[in-house]
Amino acid sequence: MSSPVLSSDPPDDLARACIAGAARDPDADFSLPGWIYTDPEFFEVERDRVIRPSWQIVCHQNDVASPGDYRTIDYGGESVIVVRGDDGVVRAFANVCRHRAMRLVEGPAGCARKLVCPYHAWTYETDGRLTGVPMRGDYPALKLEQSGLAPVAIEVWRGFVFVRLEDGGFPSVAQMMAPYEAEVAPYRFEDMQRMGDLRVRPRAVNWKNVGDNYSDNLHIPVAHDGLTRIFGKSYGIAAQDWVDRMSGELVDRPSDNFWERFYQAHLPHLPHLPEQAQRRWLYYKLWPNMAFDIYADQIDFMQWLPVSATTCVLREMTYALPDAFTPPGKQREMKLLRYANWRINRVVNQEDTWLIERVQQGMASKTYGAGPIGRSEVCLRSFAVKIRTIIPEARQTHAPAPGWSKT
């Protein structure tokens, strides 16, 4: 048997259908129905049609700077390892031994000169080749050169490493972000370094609830007092085909909250950023479940990985440019500023967690079908039309009889 490749040719023009659907969706004025946030069968269908064929962020290429450095990500029924080879190339593989399917590596990160299986010690090079098999002559069917690790599709966009389990016809990260390349470029993502460890936080909600809330604009003035104090009325949203853009401009009027006021007062002018970016908080949500929070002082990526129909995990990392990009003498201030940023956004996260857990509970109510959706809610509309195009049963306000996906 040759080594299976987890990616294949694009099967159809699903991506175009998603875009075209936005113009003529008969359900455009309704949200997605509650049952698809709790239904185990829908969960399996969207795992196969939405999550496995979509790009997922794993890390930054600077997180795997040396040969043998690796990072892993577990989702969609797979564990994937991203590893830098001895030749300097970053590749992705299924974290599965070709002998008896043992997990090759454990944990989110590490470094290995060779990948040695802990079960029977088969040994793989960092480029995936199988080169060591104890009692090699004992396996009549073994062909070493065809038993390398199963490759997984990889994309590097502005220094960030993404993987994809299958090709479902969705655009690349670069294609999704194309409308905003000029806006992103000055931030110099490629030069960034990780600040702190990977954060993985379980949430008792369907993954779609995290994304819906992330690009929901109407709740900002209602539920986020801090953001309202620092943005005033400047918060705005826009939906491109595969990326939502949210942004707020820091107001000059000092907040009555200490850390917000500190941040307002101490954000230095950063020479690498254009004027309009100096005091802007910018957010991109990429199809279907990941986002970049972009501040002048640092950026975060966040993804919400499905675990079950009613649970997911948030997976996050923070990155910033090296000190050389901070104006001379301002390095210590920048450290405090990043701490202030964390304090402000920790409150925002708590507020959002409170909201989405309660929405999740409401979605489970038999009284809830689908809600009306406002014209201004362009991001929620954009996501809903894609889900309805990819899984037409999402047009039904209540769950079909079990087995609907098998017929």
Tokens standing for 91? 């590749």
In DSSP terms, which residues pair with 130 in a beta bridge?
124
Query: Which of 97, 237, 282, 359 contacts ligand FES by CB under 6 A?
Result: 97
DSSP character at residue 287 = T
How are strands ordered across the β-sheet holding 115-116?
Answer: 115-116, 123-124, 130-132
Of the pair 115, 334, the CB lying nearest ligand FES is at 115
363 binds, among Fe ion, ligand FES, none (CB under 5 to 8 A by kind): none
Are residues 97 and 104 in contact, defined by beta-carbon separation less than 8 angstroms? yes
398 binds, among Fe ion, ligand FES, none (CB under 5 to 8 A by kind): none
Q: What is the binding site for Fe ion (CB under 5 A)?
A: 352
Rounded Cα–Cα distance for residues 248 and 227 (Å): 9
- What lies within 8 Å, CB to CB, of 213 at 6+ separation is 219, 352, 355, 356, 359
Of the pair 100, 113, the CB lying nearest ligand FES is at 100
Nearest Cα to Cα of residue 55 among 196, 154, 158: 154
Radius of gyration of the CA atoms of the chain, in A: 23
Are residues 92 and 206 in contact, defined by beta-carbon separation less than 8 angstroms? no
Of the pair 149, 154, the CB lying nearest ligand FES is at 149
- What lies within 8 Å, CB to CB, of 328 at 6+ separation is none
Query: Which of 102, 142, 198, 364 contacts ligand FES by CB under 6 A?
Result: 102
Of the pair 132, 169, the CB lying nearest ligand FES is at 132
Burial class (CB in 10 A: 0-12, 13-18, 19+), 367: exposed
Of the pair 45, 83, the CB lying nearest ligand FES is at 83
Which amino acid is present at 67?
Answer: P
Query: Which of 99, 188, 266, 343 contacts ligand FES by CB under 6 A?
Result: 99
Count of alpha carbons within 13 angstroms of residue 278, beta-carbon side: 14
- Cα→Cα distances 51→287, 332, 360, Å: 10, 41, 20
Residues 103-142 that bind ligand FES (CB under 6 A): 117, 119-122
Minimum distance between the CB of residue 175 and ligand FES, rounded to whole angstroms? Answer: 37
Tokens standing for 353? 């967690």
Q: Number of residues in contact with ligand FES, rule: CB under 6 A?
A: 9
If one asks whether residue 302 binds ligand FES (CB under 6 A), the answer comes out as no
If one asks whether residue 83 binds ligand FES (CB under 6 A), the answer comes out as no
Minimum distance between the CB of residue 74 and ligand FES, rounded to whole angstroms? Answer: 18
Of the pair 120, 233, the CB lying nearest ligand FES is at 120
Of the pair 136, 233, the CB lying nearest ligand FES is at 136
139 binds, among ligand FES, Fe ion, none (CB under 5 to 8 A by kind): none
Minimum distance between the CB of residue 7 and ligand FES, rounded to whole angstroms? Answer: 23
335 binds, among Fe ion, ligand FES, none (CB under 5 to 8 A by kind): none
Rounded Cα–Cα distance for residues 160 and 405 (Å): 35
352 binds, among ligand FES, Fe ion, none (CB under 5 to 8 A by kind): Fe ion
Q: Where do contacts with ligand FES occur on this chain (CB under 6 A)? A: 97, 99-100, 102, 117, 119-122
